Amino acid sequence: MDSKRKYKELSRNTLLFTISNFGSKFISFLLVPLYTYTLSTKDYGVVDLINTTIQLLGPCLSVNIQDAILRFSMDDEYDKREVIGVGIKVIFVSSCFLGFILAVIGKLKVLNISYIYLIFILLNYSLGILFTCLSMYIKAINKVKIITIASILNAIFTSSLNIVFLLWLKKGVIGYLIANIIGIVIAVIYSVYKLNIFKEVSLKSKKGLFGNMVIYSLPLVFNSLAWWINNASDRYILTYYCGTAIDGIYAVSYKIPMILSTIQYIFYSAWSVSAIKEFEKNDTDGFIGNIFTIYSNISILICSFLLVFNIIIAKCLYAKDFFEAWKYVSPLLVGTVFNGIVLFEGCIFTAVKKTNIVTITTVLGAIINTVLNFLLIPIIGAEGAAVATMLGYLAIYVVRTCQLQSIIKLKVDWTRHIIIIALLILQMILASFTETYLLQIPIVIIIVVLQRRYFKYIFNIFKYKVINKRTFI
């Protein structure tokens, strides 16, 4: 019965996160043609660099306090009100510090960047990290419906205002940034209101709580920095060697892998809670092993189908000069598969507070990625950046999977798993060197046949829960 409860709770949270993320990510995906139509490759490159910079600032300034909020709020030893209070104080202090630094940069003209962009960087950081911390706290207290509605509101306002500012008012990059700021403001206001945050937060905390939270989250800062290197450093290196126009095209190429990463992130949001609550070293009932196998197999199958339809999707999404982005999609898709698997594994390490292993493995991947970026980008441009990213994720996947065996005895058919991974890499190579999808079809069929047992299992769940009108909630 306890095993059924585990699956039911994970399924329920996954469904709620699907609703919250599907709206925002799907609308963002549909807006790609609007961006590629209204923005030049250079403008999109500027937008991408601003977003990438904010991703770097987040973990550095906040010391990744959001991860500590989730973990410590689920620990009965600590007062949840004090935990979120520590997070709020960190956000306030870090925002003030960033504001001061950006003011100095703007005054002294250290960087050749418009003052208005510096303001947007500050607003994006402060609001983004606040919403992330609130979301982590909401997950910990099991009020996921609040995140669901907040995310939907964010998606509706952001997409609507993007259409107004870009298509009607023709405000370009500034319009894009304003639309995104307003969207997240609405999400924060709703979350604060529903949480009644002023009663929920205690700014006074017991001695040692802040230190314990920082000790837990500090290794994850280096982990986040390493992820940033894996995800984003290639943009700067590519811009240096090839210019912002090429970076804009390369940034757009991530939109197809975003289909897969969105599905992975939805599950990851639910799994990050279940991994902490349901961790068992021997995996006696096979719960964690089964979820690992189903999750990785679904990721691989979606990737395989996206590789087949890559060019068709690119023709629908990418306008004008952006169509060239299809060439970079295949390695990024396979890299996204590895990224999703290591995030899954990272939740298990986090559950046992082994954050040092998470950091070490990610740093290793970041080093490999960076070295390969400098070696490959000058030779083959954006294709080199995509390959370097994929190999960086592959390295993390290999090392972290080996390390995982000392943490938990997963009931997984590793031989079958490795064979399927090898087939996917072979398909990626074929997809990269030919525009025809016919050569990929036999590989897709073999992958499906090898996974048929799990697809039958998933279909039976769907049949029982949906067709027979039995819900997860």
pLDDT at 381: 87
Per-residue pLDDT tens for 150-176?
988 988 898 889 889 888 888 888 888
pLDDT at 469: 46
Average pLDDT in the 98-102 region?
91
State the pLDDT confidence band at 473, using cuts at 50, 70 and 90. Answer: very low
List the structure tokens of 366: 């970041």
What residues have CB less than 8 Å from 99, skipping those under 6 apart? 122
pLDDT at 428: 93
Count of Cβ atoms closer than 10 Å to residue 307 Cβ: 23
Per-residue pLDDT tens for 404-434?
888 877 788 889 999 999 999 999 999 887 7
List the structure tokens of 10: 């994970």
Examine the pLDDT at 200 and tell me if it is beyond 80.
Answer: no
State the pLDDT confidence band at 311, using cuts at 50, 70 and 90. Answer: confident
Of the candidates 376, 341, 337, 392, the residue with the CA atom closest to the CA atom of residue 227:
392
Per-residue H/E/C for the chain: CHHHHHHHHHHHHHHHHHHHHHHHHHHHHHCHHHHHHHCCHHHHHHHHHHHHHHHHHHHHHHCCHHHHHHHHHCCCCCCHHHHHHHHHHHHHHHHHHHHHHHHHHHHHCCCCCCHHHHHHHHHHHHHHHHHHHHHHHHHHCCCHHHHHHHHHHHHHHHHHHHHHHHHHCCCHHHHHHHHHHHHHHHHHHHHHHHHCHHHHCCCCCCCCHHHHHHHHHHHHHHHHHHHHHHHHHHHHHHHHHHCHHHHHHHHHHCCCHHHHHHHHHHHHHHHHHHHHHHCCCCCCCCHHHHHHHHHHHHHHHHHHHHHHCHHHHHHHHCCHHHHHHHHHHHHHHHHHHHHHHHHHHHHHHHHCCCHHHHHHHHHHHHHHHHHHHHHHHHHHCHHHHHHHHHHHHHHHHHHHHHHHCCCCCCCCCHHHHHHHHHHHHHHHHHHHHCCCCHHHHHHHHHHHHHCHHHHHHHHHHHHHHHHCCCCCC
What is the percentage of the chain residues whose pLDDT exceeds 90? 22
- Mean pLDDT across the chain, nearest whole number? 81
What is the percentage of the chain residues whose pLDDT exceeds 70? 84
First to last CA, the chain: 17
pLDDT at 278: 61
Q: What is the C-alpha to C-alpha distance for residues 231 and 226, in angstroms, rounded to an integer?
A: 9
pLDDT at 188: 93
pLDDT at 279: 60
Per-residue pLDDT tens for 11-30?
666 666 666 565 566 666 66
Average pLDDT in the 31-38 region?
73
Average pLDDT in the 81-104 region?
91
Average pLDDT in the 277-294 region?
70
- Which of these ranges, 23-37, 189-203, 365-379, has the smallest mean pLDDT? 23-37
pLDDT at 466: 46
pLDDT at 470: 47
List the structure tokens of 225: 């920095």
Measured CA distances, 8 to 12, 75, 199, 282, 460 (Å) = 6, 22, 31, 21, 15
pLDDT at 1: 41
Examine the pLDDT at 32 and tell me if it is beyond 80.
Answer: no
